[in-house]
Chains A and B, each alone.
Chain A
Amino acid sequence: MPPAELLSVRGCTKLYPGVRALDGADFQVRAGEIHALLGENGAGKSTLIAILTGVTAADGGEVRIEGRPARPRGPAQARELGISALYQEGALVPNLSVAENLYLGREPTRFGLVRRRRMEGDARLLLAAYGLQIDVTSPLGRYSTAVRQLVAIARAADLSAKLLILDEPTSSLDADETAMLFEVMRQLKARGLGIVFVTHFLDQVYAVCDRLTVLRNGRTVAERAVGEVSRAELVGLMLGEASAGAGYPARRRGAAVGPAVATFRGFGRRRRVAPFDLQFRAGEVVAAAGLLGSGRTETALLMFGAETADSGEVEVAGRPVKLRGPRDAIRAGFGFCPEDRKRDGVVGALSVRENIALALQARGGWARPLSRRRQADLAERYIKALDIRTPDAEKPIEQLSGGNQQKTLLARWLATDPRLLILDEPTRGIDVGGHAEILKLVDELCTQGLSIYMISSELAEIAATADRVLVMRDRRPAGLIEGAAVSPEAIMAAIAAPPGEAAG
């Protein structure tokens, strides 16, 4: 007997003014499976989730849950139907305790009073089932994103959810935390829940999912068992025929390498990162690889002056330079796209135009304003050149997709005509299409003579792009791989060099 269809969406349509967000999409989830929902930005994933959770109503098609037609009106009704969705920033209350969050709105009471002890005991048991042993009386906000997500999942599962929707839960988790989350997902699967897993990480699809559905332009283009689809095929499905097979565009290495642009010697800061040497020549990509916490991000922070180095020296275009802060670095011709775009990069409520003009304006000083016209021209130019998808330059940047935000940040630095661009995880949390575009941009910029320092946790990405790779381990440089020797295997080997010490 085939497994029961827990959720069945057929011919689902949703129209927004000028956009057909969903155009007859189908989507089936069985009880007891983890189902990956994949697609580029704009493919219709978010709209589909919004319909399932009752945030918006479909214009056509039908949704059935366990065979019965369902039209949830609002998240509360969706929850009654057994559908719970968890977003990256969960809806829990950070200043209530873990236990209070778990039982919010359904606290065990006696004579109208909350039975705190009992609630805390229950909470401890509930979390222990997921291998989570934490102080349930502490405020939830004290814990990491990972723990908060697990608490949210535990709460949803305990609310007798049948279908759990996880929307990019791993984008801010490190490897260990991700593994922990996967373990919990497998447990819930074993208990018969259906799990919808939205992610940008293809590796994770293969690691934890049973089946997958790919959406493109509002339609379902594939519904397959994970084992049947190769990585290349999957990328092809998501991007469409034109880009099929374009996993990562490989650079022509060393094609246009010029003179030294910036040289760091013995650059370091105590307790943050041990001194390292690094030289950038015009037109090359230097990458930093290493595990999370290996010190790779710290090298970038020091190089940009976001933290001040306490040892070493810098030479830019043959002249010594002092980096006391980002402003010094910018004056030296550096640009920096930080890892946490939302926190350290974009100025959310400001427009795309203002975000692009910001660094150039900051370098020019307050007294010499770029005219509105000049800013608009600048924005127009980069929106076109980098293919930033936004209706116009006045849209607040926070309303753009991750990939387009990243391109806007790139534009911000390109506007300053930099020598050296420091990119920390430039493709993190960006869909496959955006991913490829950004790597293509990196290649083009190098061809124009820029130097690029790129930090990435995706070895394949590094291998495809970098001329040289600085491998970091335990907050110190652990080797430099150059030219033809650059390959995922070589980097992996360098990271893991002394066996047993690699886990950072």
Chain B
Amino acid sequence: MTDLLGWRSRLPRGGPQLAALALALAANAVVSPDFFHLLLRDGRLFGSPVDILNRGAPTVLLGVGMALVIATRGIDLSVGSVMAIAGAVAAAGVAHGLPWGVSIALALGAGVACGLWNGLLVAIMGIQPIVATLVLMVAGRGVAQLITSGRILTFDEPHLLWIGGGAIAGLPVAVVVALAAAALVLLMVRRTALALFIEAVGVNPQASRLAGVPSRAVLVYVYLVSGLLAATAGVLAAADIRAADANNAGLWLELDAILAVVLGGGSLYGGRFSLGLTVVGALTLQTLKTCILRAGFPPEFNLIAMAGVVAVVLVIQSPAVGALGGRLVPRLREVRL
């Protein structure tokens, strides 16, 4: 908030976030020396960076939605469950013989419905976002189980399999879908006045309302987008394993999404947001996960290592460290004089 030393203006915007991503990538290169080795086979790109993009696709989608929600001072805990619901709907759809397009449309529709539900609870009923979305977080997984009757619903519909394993322009479909969706949302908010409205509502909801900003509509909108993106992520995750796993799909991913926003430099107090940096944050997170998985530590250390690394990254990005850097620079100059 306070920018007494002006370090933010001194460093380029997004510098700390990109630095964190670079560090995470460097750590990977240390763990596996041929990390950056890319290979083109059958018109498709293979390599660890591609894997990271592919694995990170759901987090990117959830993160983008979460960034909008958090910008309005809210939070959407239900995204993991919405993923499970969407995956279940898509799988159940093709299992009942519906065309693949209809199944996916139904799955995305389910996401929109979930987002609408959250948005109405928050914007119209005035329930605190963390409580409102907790309802669907808890109940949503049950709904997903109901749809799959408690089993892992495997499918072999060729279009869905293509989403999971195919490629567009050499990149996995999931990567293209996630980046395209992120770009689309970016265009939709930045090329319209939505970004201004979202930030205004997040900074001061009352003043925004009095300035004529349709605060409620803005709130419903962000939860709706979050639900739709979560459903997209759910379809991708189901296509990835060729099955709808109601119990495990998207489990705890809401926390990853929040972390992606935070790693992207977003404040949980709402206001300014950056979708681009949130994507960077999501990819940083996935890069770290990949690094830990590949380092060959015993699995008991996974969580500790992850927590430690995330803490380090957050400290690097913290204003205090930035201020320290800012203070060191003039001091060094003095020494030289």
A and B touch in the complex (CB under 8 A): yes
Q: Which residues of A contact B (CB under 8 A)?
A: 304, 306, 326-327, 330, 336, 338, 343-350, 354, 357-359, 361-370, 412
Task: Give B201's nearest chain A residue, CB to CB.
Answer: A347
Q: Are A306 and B207 in contact (CB under 8 A)?
A: no
Q: Which of B204, B209, B214, B272 contacts A346 (CB 8 A)?
A: B204
- Asked if residues A366 and B193 are in contact (CB atoms below 8 Å), the reply is yes
B253 CB to nearest chain A CB (Å) = 29
In the assembled complex, the Cα of A412 lies from the Cα of B206 at a distance in Å of 16
* Alpha-carbon distance between A349 and B207 when the two chains are bound, in angstroms: 12
Q: Which of B206, B212, B272 contacts A330 (CB 8 A)?
A: B212
Out of B192, B203, B206, B209, which one reaches A350, CB within 8 Å? B203
Q: For the complex, is B200 an interface residue (Cβ under 8 Å from A)?
A: yes
Known: A350-B199, A358-B200, A366-B192. A343 touches B207 (CB 8 A): yes
Contact code string B195-220 (vs A, CB < 8 Å = 1, else 0): 01101100110111111111000000
Residues of B close to A336: CB separation below 8 A: 210
Report the separation of the CA atoms of residues A357 and B208 in the bound assembly, to the nearest whole angstrom.
12
Given A338-B210, A358-B213, A362-B211, does the pair A347, B204 have CB atoms closer than 8 Å? yes
Choice from A327, A343, A358 contacting B206 with Cβ under 8 Å: A343
CB B42 to nearest CB in A, in angstroms, measures: 43
In the complex, what residues of A have CB within 8 A of residue B197's CB? 361-362, 366
Quick check: is B41 within 8 A (CB to CB) of the other chain? no
When distances are taken between beta carbons in the complex, the residues of chain A under 8 Å from B192 are 366-369
Among the interface residues B196, B197, B211, B272, which one has the most CB atoms of the partner chain A within 10 A?
Answer: B211
Chain A residue at minimum C-beta to C-beta distance from B216: A325
Complexed CA–CA distance, A360 and B269 (Å)? 26
Q: Among B196, B214, B272, which residue has its beta carbon within 8 angstroms of that of A358?
A: B196
B211 and A358 within 8 A (CB)? yes
| Cβ–Cβ contact A362 & B214, under 8 A | yes
Whether B210 contacts A304 by the Cβ 8 Å rule is yes
Q: Are A359 and B200 in contact (CB under 8 A)?
A: no
**Given A348-B203, A354-B200, do A359 and B211 touch, yes or no (CB 8 Å)?**
yes
26 A-B residue pairings within 8 Å (CB atoms): A304-B210, A326-B212, A336-B210, A338-B207, A344-B207, A344-B210, A346-B204, A346-B207, A347-B204, A347-B211, A349-B199, A349-B272, A350-B199, A350-B200, A350-B271, A354-B196, A354-B200, A358-B208, A359-B211, A362-B212, A366-B197, A367-B192, A367-B193, A368-B192, A368-B193, A369-B191
Inter-chain CA distance A306–B193, complex, in Å, is: 23
A354 to chain B: closest residue by CB: B196
State whether B207 touches A357 (Cβ < 8 A): no
- The reply to whether the CB of B194 lies closer than 8 angstroms to some CB of chain A is yes
Given A349-B271, A358-B200, A369-B193 contact (CB < 8 Å)? yes
- CB-CB under 8 A for A327 and B212, given A368-B193, A369-B191: yes
| Residues of A with C-beta under 8 A to B207 | 338, 343-347
Number of contact residues on B: which range applies?
A: 20 to 34
* A345: chain B residues within 8 A (beta carbon): 207, 210
List residues of chain A with CB within 8 A of the CB of B200: 347, 350, 354, 358
Considering the chains assembled together, what is the distance between the CA atoms of A366 and B193 in angstroms?
A: 5
A338 to B211, CA, bound (A): 10
The residues of A that contact B203 with a CB separation of less than 8 Å are 347-350
**Judging by beta carbons under 8 Å apart, are A365 and B204 in contact?**
no
> How many angstroms between the C-alpha atoms of A363 and B272 in the bound complex?
22
In the assembled complex, the Cα of A371 lies from the Cα of B328 at a distance in Å of 40
A363 CA to B212 CA in the complex, in Å?
A: 7
| B-side contacts of A359, CB under 8 Å | 211-212
B67 to A: closest C-beta gap in Å: 16
Q: Which of B207, B209, B213, B271 has the most CB of A within 10 A?
A: B207
Complex Cα distance, B203 from A366, in Å, reads 18
Let me know if A326 and B193 touch, CB within 8 A.
Answer: no
- B214: A residues at CB distance < 8 A: 327, 362, 366
Residue of B nearest to A375 (CB): B196
User: How distant is B156 from chain A, measured CB to nearest CB, in Å?
Assistant: 42
A344 to B206, Cβ gap below 8 A?
A: yes
A358: which B residues are within 8 A, CB to CB?
Answer: 196, 200, 208, 211-213
Q: Which residues of B contact A412 (CB under 8 A)?
A: 211
Q: Are B204 and A348 in contact (CB under 8 A)?
A: yes
Q: Give the shortest distance, in Å, between B322 (CB) and chain A (any CB).
A: 18
Least Cβ–Cβ distance between A161 and chain B, in angstroms: 26
- A364–B213 CA distance with the chains assembled, in angstroms: 10
Interface centre among A336, A365, A369 (most CB of B within 10 A): A369
CA distance A354 to B200 in the complex (A): 9
Q: How far is the CA of A330 from the CA of B210 in the complex (A)?
A: 9
Residues in chain A near residue B194, CB distance under 8 A: 366
Query: How far, in angstroms, from A446 to B204 measured CA to CA in the complex?
Result: 30
Closest 8 CB pairs of A and B: A362-B212, A330-B212, A369-B193, A362-B213, A359-B211, A358-B211, A347-B204, A366-B193
CA distance A348 to B194 in the complex (A): 18
State how many angstroms separate the Cβ of B222 from the closest Cβ of chain A: 12
Could you mark each residue 10-37 of chain B with 1 if its beta carbon is under 8 Å from any beta carbon of chain A, else 0?
0000000000000000000000000000
CB within 8 Å for A326 and B209 given contacts A350-B199, A362-B197, A364-B193? yes
B209 to chain A, nearest CB (A): 6
- B residues 159-204 in Cβ contact with A at 8 Å: 191-194, 196-197, 199-200, 203-204
Residues of A within 8 A of B271 (CB): 349-350
Residues of B within 8 A of A347 (CB): 199-200, 203-204, 207-208, 211
Between B193, B196, B212, the greatest number of chain A beta carbons within 10 A of the residue's beta carbon is seen for B212
Taking the nearest CB of chain B, how far is it from the CB of A375, in angstroms?
9
- What residue of chain A has the Cβ atom nearest to residue B198's Cβ? A366
Query: In the complex, how many angstroms separate the beta carbon of B221 from the nearest chain A beta carbon?
Result: 8
Q: How far is the CB of B196 from chain A (nearest CB, A)?
A: 6
Q: Return chain B residues, CB-CB under 8 Å to A362.
A: 193, 197, 208, 211-214
Least Cβ–Cβ distance between A346 and chain B, in angstroms: 6
